[in-house]
C-alpha cells in the first residue's frame, strides 16, 4: 500500500504501520489519521495478517500529539461548538480504531508520546516502549480536555495526578504505573517487539480474534464505551469554555508556536521539578 504520511508493510503475518512524518515528530495530522484508519482496515481484512505493530518513523517520537498546523487554520478561540464537535468526532473515531480492530494491535513507542498520541496509544491492546520514552497528558496545560479518556482503564485512579498536572513522566514510571508492559533499550526495541509480534502471530487466528473480542467485552460490560463517550462530551465543554488559556491560542494564532510556548512556560516553569518538566515541543504539534 502507498500512503503519503504512513508506511505500511506486511511480513510473515505481521503488519507494520509506521507514522511517517519525522520532520514533524510524527504529529497526527488529519491526513495521517485518515490514512492510518484506512491502513488498519486493510490489515483487519487481510487473511494473511494476524497482528499489527504501530510505531513512529526515525525513533525520536512515536508521535508528539495532534498537528497544530491543522488547527491553526482556524484559531481555537474562533471555533464554535459545532466546529469543536466535528473535529472531536474525527479524532475520537481515529483513537478508537485500534480497539475496534478485530486483531491485536501493538504500540511500539520509540521516544515521545504526548497528548493526543498518548490518548491514541491507550486504545491499543499492548504498549511496549524504549528506555528513552517520554509521556505526558499535555492537554491539561492547554486547557483542553482529554478526548479519549483511556488512562483510568489502564492505570486506575493514579491517572489523576498525570491529568491534573500535565507533568511529563518517563519509561520507568510508565512501567511502574502499568501503562507499558515492557521497556527495551532503544537499539533493541524493534527486534524484541517484532519477536513478540511474530510469536503472537503463530497463535491461531480464531483464537486471537475471539480472545480480543472477549477481552474487549469485559471493558464494554464495565461501561468502557459509555464512559469514553461521556468523557468526550466533557472534553467538548472544556474546549468550548472560557479560560485564561484562551490567551495561549490567541498568541499561537497571531505570533506563532514559539511565542505561545514561552507564554505557557512562564506560567508552569516556576513550579517545575526535573521530573515534571514538560517537553518543549516543535512548532508542528499540540496536545
Per DSSP, the residues of 230-253 read HHHHHHHHHHTS--TTHHHHHHHH
Per DSSP, the residues of 87-105 read HHHHHHHHHHHHHHSSS-E
How many other C-beta atoms are found inside a 10 Å radius of the C-beta of residue 50?
24
Q: What angle do CA 279, 285, 287 make, to 5 degrees?
A: 70
First and final C-alpha spacing in the chain: 29
Catalytic residue among 37, 58, 78, 119: 119
Catalytic residue among 35, 37, 139, 250: 139
What number of H helices and E strands is found in the chain?
12, 10
What are 129's strand-pairing partners? 109, 183
Q: Any catalytic annotation for residue 119?
A: yes
Catalytic residues: 119, 139
Amino acid at each position: 500500500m502507498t500512503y503519503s504520511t504512513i508506511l505500511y508493510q506486511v511480513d510473515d503475518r505481521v503488519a507494520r504501520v509506521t507514522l511517517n512524518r519525522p520532520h514533524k515528530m510524527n504529529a497526527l495530522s488529519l491526513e495521517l489519521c485518515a490514512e492510518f484508519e484506512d491502513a488498519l482496515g486493510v490489515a483487519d481484512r487481510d487473511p494473511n495478517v494476524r497482528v499489527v505493530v504501530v510505531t513512529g518513523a526515525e525513533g525520536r517520537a512515536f508521535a508528539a500529539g495532534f498537528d497544530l498546523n491543522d488547527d491553526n487554520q482556524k484559531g481555537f478561540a474562533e471555533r464554535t461548538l459545532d466546529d469543536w464537535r466535528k473535529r472531536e468526532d474525527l479524532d475520537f473515531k481515529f483513537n478508537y480504531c485500534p480497539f475496534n480492530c478485530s486483531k491485536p494491535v501493538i504500540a511500539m513507542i520509540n521516544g515521545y508520546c504526548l497528548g493526543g498520541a498518548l490518548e491514541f496509544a491507550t486504545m491499543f491492546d499492548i504498549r511496549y516502549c524504549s528506555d528513552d520514552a517520554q509521556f505526558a497528558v499535555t492537554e491539561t496545560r492547554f486547557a483542553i480536555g482529554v478526548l479519549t479518556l483511556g488512562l483510568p482503564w489502564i492505570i486506575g485512579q493514579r491517572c489523576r495526578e498525570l491529568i491534573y498536572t500535565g507533568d511529563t513522566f518517563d519509561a520507568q514510571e510508565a512501567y511502574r504505573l502499568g501503562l507499558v508492559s515492557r521497556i527495551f533499550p532503544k537499539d533493541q526495541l524493534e527486534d524484541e517487539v517484532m519477536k513478540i509480534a511474530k510469536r503472537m502471530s503463530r497463535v491461531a487466528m480464531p483464537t486471537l480474534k475471539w480472545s480480543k473480542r472477549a477481552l474487549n467485552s469485559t471493558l464494554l460490560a464495565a461501561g468502557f464505551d459509555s464512559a469514553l463517550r461521556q468523557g468526550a462530551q466533557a472534553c467538548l465543554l472544556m474546549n468550548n469554555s472560557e479560560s485564561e488559556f484562551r490567551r495561549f491560542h490567541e498568541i499561537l494564532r497571531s505570533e506563532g508556536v514559539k511565542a505561545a510556548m514561552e507564554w505557557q512556560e512562564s506560567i508552569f516553569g516556576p513550579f517545575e521539578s526535573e521530573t515534571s518538566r514538560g517537553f518543549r515541543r516543535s512548532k508542528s504539534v499540540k496536545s
